[in-house]
Structure 1
Amino acid sequence: MHPFALTVTCSVLVSLGISFTLDPMLSAYWGDPADHHTAPKKGLSKVLARFNDWFDAQADRYGHVVEWALHHRRWMGAIALASLVGALVLQANFGGTSFLPASDNGNLMIEVRTPASSSLEYARLKMERAAEIARTIKEVKDTNSNINANGGRIYVDIGKKNTRSRSAKEIAVELRDKIRPLVGAEYVVIDDTNNGARKPVQIEFTGPDSRKLLEITSAYMEQLRKIPGAVDVGLSEQDPKKELKIEMNRGLANSMGISINDAAQSLRVAFAGIEVGDWVDPTGETRDVAVRLHPNDRVSKENIERLPIAVTGTNEMVPLDQIASVTMGKGPSAIEHSNGKRTITVSANVQGRSNGEVTKEAMELAKSFNYPPGYGLSLAGAGQDQDELFTEMLIALISGIGLMYLILVMQFGSFTAPLAVMLSLPLSLIGVVIALMVTGSTINLMSFIGIIMLMGLVAKNAILLLDAARKQEKEGVDREEALMHAGRVRLRPILMTTFALIAGMIPVALGLGEGGEFYRPLAIAIIGGTITSTILTLLVVPSFYDSIEIARDRMMAKMRRRAEGMSQILAFGLTMLEAVLTLLGIRLVFRLCLKLFNLMRGRRPAPAIGEGL
């Protein structure tokens, strides 16, 4: 995302330079005629003049709306709080999350995994059967297979998205239903190859014993399949394969003079073979000769039990079953390690829900299991990447807001005036959540970038409004009158920039063309947040600013009164402490507790200073 951020930053800087140089020059060169405002209007000019008159009337009405908002600050605060809480509740209960936006690049993939003991021909037959089924879907144009002894991958070409009526996810649902009856191999349909062609849900289980891990993960898989939206549940390793387990009776073997190494050497000769010489073939080429048990004897428990073991220092031989127990069972086909621990990963695809929702429920299910000492779990794959991404993006968002506040402090020359701008930033979140829900998008990498960009765009409206109001205040105009005047004169530029931004983002939000859906959540988040923030900012920011400035004036007056009876440093410290306690809500809680205590004692609270005057 570094190139993206660099592009946006450079574009803004260049546009800033153009607005200071080229735009004024062109405006002067293409200025209106001298009699433009007095000349009679005709045609389009007449229509635009009527529109301007109508808009000026609406701007006057908006000035009265600002006046109403300034006299109903609690209502404005309640509206702002309700929008923030509503955004959080909607996202928590109905919104989805994912690492990357879902993409439709015109390809599906079927991952086929055959049993560990299968041959290349067996894998070819299983993959060809799956490819035949895939070709029965009307959107499928071609299939290509990559086969190996353990299975392989089938790449399914479904054509460009503008040539078909169904999305890749919808086609993948049909493909899963069609290959589900196939047996003899594990079939997984991948509808989004952005994540390295991996399943989005991956839970990693660790522990000292592979067999115990296999038992835990098998039980977990049964429960995971019951979670809505979790499909293609499987393990990171192949199905367990048959294994021969030989347990030596060390005491008996030692008493007979047979060491573990002697037994292991005999087993190595039987299974791996031993070179006994060489042989010259008819062409004259020398070839090594090795002998070992016949394949049928190597899988027969009875033949292995009769395998002779030499007694060291003698010519005697004893059968293996006299010094060891031989059993046939199943064990892991492969052993994976992570941070020095044996690991098995349970993975799943997602269908009909967002990746984040299914991953969250999968982790909650995994944590509900009781694990023996030494065993544990962790989030892996796209879920782990998503957690790390959201943490980094949250840090970037907070850092950006902090830098924005410092810049506004320098611009306004005040530490309190920018607080009204900062309080307006969360007003965009309700629009972001609703827009993403309506369009079926999720909170992901691109929508998070859109939210970060949105913070600067939302602040722009508040800055336009408050800058005009503060200029009027410096000229001696009453604060309320200044805010109403600023609302009238700044309504047009605020709406003009808002509509221009939305118009520019609409093509991106449509997601046209190959790969267009990757940037679609960014545009959707910006459009939804801009609409709601513009509406709420025009109402809430004036009341926020007026309330903050009134509180600042009261605190300054209180500090001056305290400075009359104590040092200025102590008065400043007490006043700042009171302000911090007020912002944290501690002062409000203390006052409520004091009022409740007085009511319980039957005493009326003391009137505030100046009350009743």
Structure 2
Amino acid sequence: MSRFAIEGRTYRVIPQAADDFRLSGSNLSQYYVRSLSGQMIPLSSVISVSTIVQPNVRSQYQQLNSITIQGMMMPPNTLGDGLQFLEQELKNIAPKGYRAGYEGESRRYVQEGNSFLFLFGASLILIYLVLSAQFNSFRDPLVVLVSVPLSLFGALLPLALGWETLNIYTQVGLLTLVGLIAKHGILIVDFANRLEQEGKDRFEAVAEAATMRLRPILMTTFATVLGVLPLLLANGAGAASRFAMGLMIAAGMCVGTLFTLFVLPTFYPRLGRAQSSQ
């Protein structure tokens, strides 16, 4: 309507009615405007009022108009199940030309989730090759790696119970668990090889090795579980991701340790390389 200047700056004058006169669209009928003849006429005689629904924000994704769907997966459903469901529903209900994009955890899952099996297999191969060089044998590393599927069973148990879902953070925890649990098998196999070289029977050697290495194995497990305890008790921003990784490591180490002590010795006489006595 007008402008005014203060301290060298010009500001627009924007009139506004009091709160009581702008609570609803029907209040517009109480306003009057001046016609060309100078008479005051009600505003309702020159305009019509209708109520429509529109989004309060027009968001964009990659310079395209978009809407954002947010949700949280309930166990036992995984993030992959949720994304697959949404993609299928989008094909059924969305008009032609619409497509799906991903943000946040979903984006990381789509970009990196397909590479989990490759990374997991590559980690097993790398550990096997390193152990083969350490033991100078292609059979002893197989005994060590027996503890890996056993620990994975323990790590996946919370997922089956609905405590967590399979996502990028639990996958990172599973990859970390492979390297941690392999140390238990190394302790038993290495000590059993030494006892066998001293002339002891293979069954006797692995039984004594499991007994003698019990304390170091338990200490390693307790230290690892206590190390990830802050991840399990974390709160605030990022607590969900830290809890997922910590849960995989803690559950896998606890269950994997028990299986390693009782199951791995039964594989040593059958898979391990015979050691010549000295």
- Name the counterpart of 1:360: 84
Alignment partners' CA distance in 1, 2:52 and 2:200: 82
TM-score (normalised: structure 1): 0.32
Equivalent of residue 416 in structure 1, options 139, 142, 155: 139
* Structure 2 residue 185 is matched with structure 1 residue 459: no
1:488 maps to a residue whose letter is T
- Give the Cα separation in 1 of the matches to 2:188 and 2:139: 16
Q: Percent identity?
A: 32
1:183/1:525 CA distance change after superposition, 3 Å: farther
In the aligned structure 2, how far is the partner of 1:532 from the partner of 1:183?
59
Q: Which letter does structure 1 place at the counterpart of 2:175?
A: I
Counterpart of 2:200 in 1: which secondary structure?
coil
- Offset, 1:379: 5.0
Separation in structure 2 between the aligned mates of residue 376 and residue 409 of structure 1, nearest angstrom: 54
Deviation (angstroms), 1:412 = 0.9
* Deviations 1:393-425, CA, capped at 9 Å, x for gaps: 433332222221111111111011101222321
Identify the residue that residue 102 of structure 2 maps to in structure 1: 381
Corresponding position of 2:214: 491
8 Å CA contact retained: 2:193, 2:205: yes
Q: Which residue identity is paired with 1:444? A: N
Q: 2:167 aligns with which of 436, 439, 444?
A: 444
Partner-residue secondary structure (3-state), 2:166: coil
Structure 2: which amino acid aligns with 1:386? Answer: Y
In the TM superposition, what is the alpha-carbon distance from 1:337 to its structure 2 partner? 9.1
Relative to structure 1, the CA distance from residue 379 to residue 412 in structure 2 (aligned partners, 3 Å threshold; closer, same or farther) is farther
Query: Structure 1 residues 420, 364: CA separation in 2 closer, same or farther (over 3 Å shift)?
Result: farther
Distance, in Å, in 2 between the alignment partners of 1:394 and 1:417 is 24
Match of 2:243? 520
* 1:355 Cα deviation after fit: 4.1
Larger radius of gyration: 1
Aligned pair in 2 of structure 1 residues 487, 423: CA closer, same or farther (>3 Å)? closer
What SS does the corresponding residue of 2:146 show, helix, strand or coil?
Answer: helix
Structure 2 residue matching 1:349: 3-state secondary structure: coil
Which residue number in structure 2 is paired with residue 349 of structure 1? Answer: 70
Residue 54 of structure 2 is aligned to residue 185 of structure 1:
yes
CA distance in 2, matches of 1:364, 1:183: 30
Q: CA deviation at 1:389?
A: 1.1
Q: Which residue of 2 aligns with 1:400?
A: 123
Q: CA 1:519–1:393 in 2, change beyond 3 Å: closer, same or farther?
A: same
Aligned equivalent of 1:478: 201
The residue aligned with 1:500 is 223
- One-letter code of the match for 1:521? A
Structure 1 distance, partners of 2:158, 2:232, is: 11
Deviations 1:330-352 (A, max 9, x none): xxxxxx999xxxx8866522146
**What secondary structure, in the 3-state scheme, does the structure 2 residue paired with 1:443 have?**
coil
1:333 corresponding residue in structure 2: none
Work out the CA distance in 1 between the residues paired with 2:232 and 2:176. 15
Structure 2 length-normalised TM: 0.67
Query: Per-residue deviation at 1:368?
Result: 6.5
Equivalent runs, 1:215-254 vs 2, <5 Å: none
Give the counterpart letter for 2:198 in structure 1.
E
Q: Assess if the C-alpha contact under 8 Å between 2:151 and 2:253 holds in 1.
A: yes
1:366/1:526 CA distance change after superposition, 3 Å: same
Hey, which of these two has a bigger chunk of strand by percent? 1
Counterpart residue identity of residue 348, structure 1: I
Give runs of aligned pairs for residues 277-356 of structure 1, distance below 5 A.
347-351=68-72, 353=74, 355-356=79-80
2:143 and 2:268 in contact (8 A); partners too = yes
How far has the Cα of 1:511 moved from its partner?
1.1
Candidates 415, 425, 428, aligned match of 2:148? 425
Distance 1:337 1:447 in 2: 29
CA distance in 2, matches of 1:525, 1:183: 50
SS at match of 1:348: coil
Q: What secondary structure, in the 3-state scheme, does the structure 1 residue paired with 2:70 have?
A: strand
- Describe the SS at the equivalent of 1:185: coil
* Partner residue, 1:231: none
What residue is the counterpart of 2:35 in the other structure? Answer: none
What SS class does the counterpart of residue 228 from structure 2 fall into? helix
Q: Aligned with 1:459: secondary structure? A: helix
Which runs of 5 or more structure 1 residues have no equivalent in the other structure? 1-128, 130-181, 189-234, 238-335, 554-613
Q: Report deviation, 1:356.
A: 3.2
**What one-letter code is carried by the residue in structure 2 that aligns with 1:184?**
V
Pair 1:540 & 2:269 matched: no
The secondary structure found in structure 1 opposite 2:69 is strand
Assess, with a 3 A threshold, how the Cα gap between structure 1 residues 548 and 351 changes in structure 2: closer, same or farther.
closer
Are the aligned partners of 1:436 and 1:521 in contact in 2 as well (CA < 8 Å)?
Answer: no
Instruction: Return closer, same or farther for 1:355/1:406 CA change in 2, 3 Å cut-off.
Output: closer
Query: Hey, what's the Cα distance between the residues in 1 that align with 2:159 and 2:199?
Result: 45
Deviation at 1:429, TM superposition (A): 1.9
* Aligned equivalents of 2:192, 2:56: Cα separation in 1: 66
Distance in 1 between the 2:125 and 2:243 partners? 28
Change (3 A) 1:465 1:183: farther
Please tell me whether the aligned partners of residues 206 and 268 of structure 2 are also in contact (alpha carbons under 8 angstroms): no
Q: Is the 8 A contact 1:409 1:418 kept in 2?
A: yes
User: Which secondary structure state, in structure 2, belongs to the residue aligned with residue 414 of structure 1?
Assistant: coil
Shift of 1:509: 0.7
Number of equivalent positions: 221
Three-state SS of the structure 2 residue aligned to 1:350 is: coil
- 1:542 is aligned with what amino acid? P
In structure 2, relative to structure 1, the CA distance for the partners of 1:503 and 1:518 (3 Å cut) is same
Residue 187 of structure 1 deviates from its aligned partner by 6.5
In 1, are the aligned partners of 2:151 and 2:256 still within 8 Å (CA)?
yes
